[in-house]
Structures are given as C-alpha cells and as structure tokens.
Amino acid sequence: MVTYQVAVFAPLKESLTYSYLKSDLHLGQLVSVPLGRRLVQGLIIKKNDSSAEKNNKFKIKEISKIHETDYKITKNYLSWIKWISNYYIYPIGMTCKLAFPPLKASIRKSKKKSPTPQTKLQKPPVITSDQSKVIKDIKKYKNFNTHLLFGVTGSGKTEIYMQIIQKVIEEKKQVLLLVPEISLTPQLIQRFTSRFPDQIATIHSQLTPREKTNQWLSISLKKKSILIGTRSALFCTIPNLAYIIIDEEHEQSFKQEESLRYHARDAAIVRAKIEDIPILLGSATPSLESWKQAQDKKYLLHTLPNRISSQPLPPVNILNLCKESKEIDVKKKPQSFNKEKNIPFWLHKDLLQAIKITLEKKEQVALLLNRRGFSSQVLCSKCGYSSECPNCSIHLTLHKKQYLVCHHCEYSESFSSSCNKCLAQDVKAIGLGTEQVEQDLKQLFPSANIARADRDEITKREDYENLISNMEKKNIDILVGTQMIAKGLDFPNLSLVGILLADSSFYFPDFRSNEKSFQLLVQMSGRAGRAEKKGEVFIQSFNPDHPCLDFVTTQNYIEFTKSELKNRQDFLYPPFNKIALIKVQSLNEYSANQYAKNLANLANQWIKKYDFYKNIVIGGPSPATLFKVRNKYRYQILIKAPDYKILNHFCKELLDNKVKKLSNIKCDIDIDPISFL
C-alpha cells in the first residue's frame, strides 16, 4: 500500500495520511479526500516511505479522486509553500489552497473590458549614464541575488525594470513584477503594455473571480510573459519564472493583515532563492530591514542619485500651522473660513498663495491628507460628548455632513446637531477630512477642476483608471487625496505638492512611526516636478521642529537611517531582532485579559526555565491600540528574539500550550508584524 501526505484545504496544523492503490501520484497533485463525513480537496506534498506505513496504527482512508489541472505545481513551488506555512505559522492546507485561481478554467470570455487594455507602442527612451551603469551591474548576476535599487523619486527606476524584463523576454522566460497597491497598477500596466504588447497579465483585488482566473492561467500556461500584480499575484504558478521585481519595496501594503499574515516582499525573496533566480527591490525610501541587509553586504546595492529630467528634487518648505491656527480648540470647531483672511482654518497662507500661482500657470496641484471623511469626529460644545462606535473603541467619522461612520466595522448613523448625552443643540464637527478640504477648495477656486481620491470616492478599478486618465489629460487642476496618491504615480504637469497635516502619523504607538512618516512625506514630495516643470513642496505641521521633518527637508535618507537604526538597536527592534505579535480577542473582556495574562506568564516561566529561550523578551500583555473592534476585546503580547528559529520554535510551543481557554477565545500569531493597532 502506497500512502501520501495530503495538505487538506482545511484549518489543520499538519497534513494527513491517505492511501492510493491504482497508480503512483506525483507531488503537487490536486486530489479529493474524505475528511469526516465530507470530501475536501488537498494537495499531495509528500510520498511516505514503507516504514511510515508499517508504523501507522490507524486505519488509513483512501484518496477519493484525482483532479487533472492545466498546469503542474513544481517541486520548487511546493518547497516555497511549505516554507511560508512554517515561517508564518499557518495551516499547510490553507496555504496550499492559494496555489490555485478562484475558479476553474473556462472557454467563456468575460464581457467586461480587458484589465490589460491595448495602447500605442512606444520605443525605449534614451537612458542616462546612471541608469546604464545600474543595468550593467545588475545583469552581471544570473543566479539568486537580492538587488536593492535605491533611487530618488523620478530617477527612472521603472525604465531599469523594463530593460531587465526585455532581456528576460528575449530568453523566452517570464517575470513577476509586484506593486504594493491597486492604485499603482493602472498607470504601470499602461506603460508596460506600450512597451510589451500582448505580454502583460495582471492580478489584483479589483478583478472579478473570472478575470483573475483568466489572468492567472494566461501566465501559468505560458501565454503571457509578464505578470504585474499586488501581493496575491506572488502565489501564481509561473513555469518559466526567471526574475522577480518588487516596486516600492518599503510599502507596508505588501503585508497581509489577516488570515495568512505573510509579507510579499520577504516571501518573494525566499521564492527567488528556491528558484535560484535574481530578485530586484526598488525604492526611493527603502525599508530599514532592506537597507541594513545592503549595509551588511547581504543585498547588492545599486543607486540612482539623480532625476532623469533636468530638474533637481523639489525644494521642501515647512509651514508652522500653530501660528496660522490660533483659534483651533479641541472643544470648539473653528469657522471653516477665516472671514477676515478668506482662508480655511487648515490652510497656511503661503500654501494658498502657491496654489494660486500654480493654477495661473495652468499646472496641477496635489494635496495630501491621510484622513478621509468630512471631519474626524463630532463633539458637543456644551458637555464634551463625542459619538463613538458601539462596536469599536473609536470615534465615528462624519461623512457628507449627513452620517457618522466607523471605518472598522462600517457601522453608521445619521448625524444630528442634538447631543445624545445632554440633548443640547450644540454638536459640531471637529478635525479635518478630505471631504471638507475638497468643499473648501471649491469655495476658494470655483473655476478649478477639483477631484478627490480616497476609499470613499475610489471604489472600483474604473475609478482609478478614470482618475489617472483625467490627471494625464489635465482635466484635473487640484487633486486631494489620502496616501493612495503618494505612491509611484507620475504626472508631468504636476508641479505643486502640499501635505496638509504632517503630524498625523508622527505619534502612532508603533516603533516604525518615524520611518513610515518619513517614507510617506518623501514619496509624496517626489510627485512634484517630475518632468520639465519645476516642482515645489509645502509641508504643514503643528510641530515643525519634529526631527523627521529635518530629514524630509533635505531629502537625506542615509542620515535618517543612521538615526533610526540606532534607536531600533537600543530597543531590540527589527532589523536587529525578530518579533512576533500574539493577538488575543474575545467577546468577553475578562476572558481575553485573563487568557493573555496566563499566556504571558507561561512565556516568562519558559524564558527563566530554559536556557535556549534566555534571550527572548516579552512585552505585555497590553490592550491593543484599538481595544475593541466589532465587539471583540483585544490584547497583545509582543515577543522579541535574536534569531528567527528561536522565535518560531517558541511561538509554536506557546500556541500549543495547555493554558485553559475561557469563553470563546481566539488567539492569532503575526510574524514580523507591521501594524500594531
């Protein structure tokens, strides 16, 4: 009897043993097997030897059905899937399930327009001497190496990607290009399609299941050579994969925050290592993890210090909002417009003047505010009561001056000026959101075409495409948006960038807050003056002396990293230590708190008892920043360890412990966490 280990598509920690008598099966074979009273699919990940069969004391069930697929799961791909399951401590079967598109192959064509539209063919531009050197240096290496391309915004990183891809296509092989968000995808696909017609496939969250399946198969069946997509595209089976490129590698959007909490950049590096192919990471503001690897000579560093246009990086001006907004009070909403100056409370006079001049020159303006809605909260001026979400520990955000919304559970209620607590007719909106900015700008510049880009306004793929098209056609004069407009977009007529509230990310309870702030501000600043027109940047802040702003003003990434890396090392944070976050939640607050305490106590006992664990540091348990979400109370335990293997072993043992669970406890693990909310 021949038996196999099958990774069943179910939340089981390990694979299960099944037999098959008719013929030999290959690794990566898709099968159906009995699990309880039902049939479930699974993937064969190992063929057992004869000794394993003899030692098995249980009755072994037989594989029920063999499924023929259009493509094969290779040995290398299977090794990579196993690594992901082990590293991120996630069920092997649920990880293997990601190796397949959402639907079966179909000859029926989608009625919607293609996600990779045809464009006019464009010839490669003349490259700079900096680009030429980088391309030459990168092409020296044929096998696995991690290359870090550190280039200032507008330095021509995308052209380097294209030059490398051209070489791969000439060799009749395939490339995977990952981008962090769907907002970057339409413009990038358009540029690549104009250079590589009929060669592009794309995978991202805005595709229908049928579109995603068709795009997946076009790569897996070798009909296309280039796959461009967001993080989930990493799981596509690519038979002739010869190169992986990660654009904007620093972006936290590469981290999946639920279910399998993988980081696409890190997982891609391991996939490249297993396949023995090069991988290229590109960014104007590399993550500190990648930068440290380059400094330690584990990554090969390539630099582009200059923009490809004749223009230098735009000058950055810091504006002190404290001097402009003396009337702002936490319990009193300022008038939207200062009647004497005819200027909104959130806008510095210098930025207002710059906007006027830019519009007079028929050039475009982009304003960043990383806060959607009309106002961040509403407040009763008489008693100080502020409406909160009944399901989450967060204030409700005012939208369209009509309804209050929770951005975490989507609870909503109508807005009323009557206070729910004291009944006074004195409830006012305070704070600021992109809706209010848009409304005020329409009053200031009634003849200007103003557009807003946030998750309320941009809800589907066509919205992104239309926004980009209108910016490129100069149908938009002022673009207001959240961080989705700060990354990778390239508009030649955009010369003025304003960051309305730089302070919004400085004080998050997150050891990466300075790094994230610096990256966002530099990336947004880099949208200005990318072509022939000179650019300029204005950053408004209530704390203009914040050290992060000094580095942004000078665009000095290297000095910033020196300062930040010292802090990381002092407090045992990445990239000097590995970390994991255990998340405990329950509908019962006491149960969640007690279980988290018991778990942390056990962890500390092990550290004292076992020499192997002596360098592990436990933080918490502590309430999560968002203490309650969807009526579930949340506690967190932070684990720091000097080595991944020690951390992995410790976390697995801790999750398998015998600590008694109380009242519907859910306990999850996040390896290499990005968000601490």
- Domain co-membership, 167 together with 291: yes
- Final residue before a domain boundary, out of 568, 601, 635: 568
Q: For residue 478, give the amino acid letter.
A: I
Lowest mean pLDDT among 107-116, 441-450, 496-505: 107-116
Asked if residue 49 is part of any domain, the answer here is yes
CATH of the domain at 368: 3.40.50.300
- Domain co-membership, 535 together with 479: yes
Q: How confident is the model at residue 617 (pLDDT cuts 50, 70, 90)?
A: very high
Asked if residue 118 is part of any domain, the answer here is no
Q: Is the pLDDT of residue 316 over 90?
A: yes
In this prediction, what percent of the chain has a pLDDT beyond 70?
92
Which among 242, 261, 241 is positioned nearest to 252, based on CA atoms? 261
**pTM confidence score:** 0.91
- Print the domain residue range for 546: 316-372+433-568
Q: How confident is the model at residue 105 (pLDDT cuts 50, 70, 90)?
A: confident
Give every CB contact of residue 21 below 8 A, 6+ residues apart in sequence. Answer: 1, 2, 62
- Domain co-membership, 216 together with 330: no
- Domain co-membership, 360 together with 495: yes
Tokens encoding 48: 């057992």
- Domain co-membership, 134 together with 49: no
Asked if residue 632 is part of any domain, the answer here is yes
Burial state string for 465-478 with b = 16 or more CB within 10 A and e = fewer than 16: bebbeebbeeebbb
In this prediction, what percent of the chain has a pLDDT beyond 90?
57
Asked if residue 604 is part of any domain, the answer here is yes
- Domain co-membership, 225 together with 135: yes
Q: Is 574 helix (H, G, I), strand (E, B) or coil?
A: coil
- Domain co-membership, 335 together with 295: no
Which among 77, 76, 94, 72 is positioned nearest to 85, based on CA atoms? 94
Lowest mean pLDDT among 81-85, 609-613, 621-625, 661-665: 661-665
Q: Is the pLDDT of residue 340 over 50?
A: no
CATH of the domain at 36: 3.40.1440.60
569 or 371: which carries more pLDDT confidence? 569
- Domain co-membership, 283 together with 148: yes
Which among 70, 343, 86 is positioned nearest to 223, based on CA atoms? 70
Tokens encoding 241: 């994969």
pLDDT digits (tens, 9 = 90+) for 368-392: 998 876 666 777 777 878 888 889 8
- Domain co-membership, 386 together with 367: no
Give every CB contact of residue 472 below 8 A, 6+ residues apart in sequence. Answer: 491
- Domain co-membership, 516 together with 599: no
- Final residue before a domain boundary, out of 549, 568, 587: 568
Tell me the C-alpha to C-alpha distance, in Å, between residue 541 and each of 272, 346, 430, 482, 545: 42, 10, 17, 16, 9
- Domain co-membership, 243 together with 363: no
Asked if residue 110 is part of any domain, the answer here is no
- Final residue before a domain boundary, out of 304, 324, 350: 304
- Domain co-membership, 19 together with 81: yes
Asked if residue 73 is part of any domain, the answer here is yes
Number of folded domains that form the chain? 5
Q: How confident is the model at residue 331 (pLDDT cuts 50, 70, 90)?
A: very low
- How far from chain centre, in Å, is Cα 629? 21
Asked if residue 474 is part of any domain, the answer here is yes
* Long-range pairs of 514-519 with CB within 8 A, sequence gap ≥ 24: 514/547, 514/548, 514/564, 514/567, 515/287, 515/288, 515/564, 516/252, 517/548, 518/285, 518/548, 518/551, 518/552, 518/557, 518/560, 519/250, 519/285
Q: How confident is the model at residue 112 (pLDDT cuts 50, 70, 90)?
A: low
Q: How confident is the model at residue 431 (pLDDT cuts 50, 70, 90)?
A: confident
pLDDT for 530: 81
Burial state string for 520-536 with b = 16 or more CB within 10 A and e = fewer than 16: bbbbbbbbbbbbebebb
Q: How confident is the model at residue 120 (pLDDT cuts 50, 70, 90)?
A: confident
Asked if residue 124 is part of any domain, the answer here is no
pLDDT digits (tens, 9 = 90+) for 26-79: 999 999 999 988 999 999 999 887 665 556 667 889 999 999 888 889 999 999
| Whole-angstrom distance, CA of residue 619 vs CA of residue 640 | 8
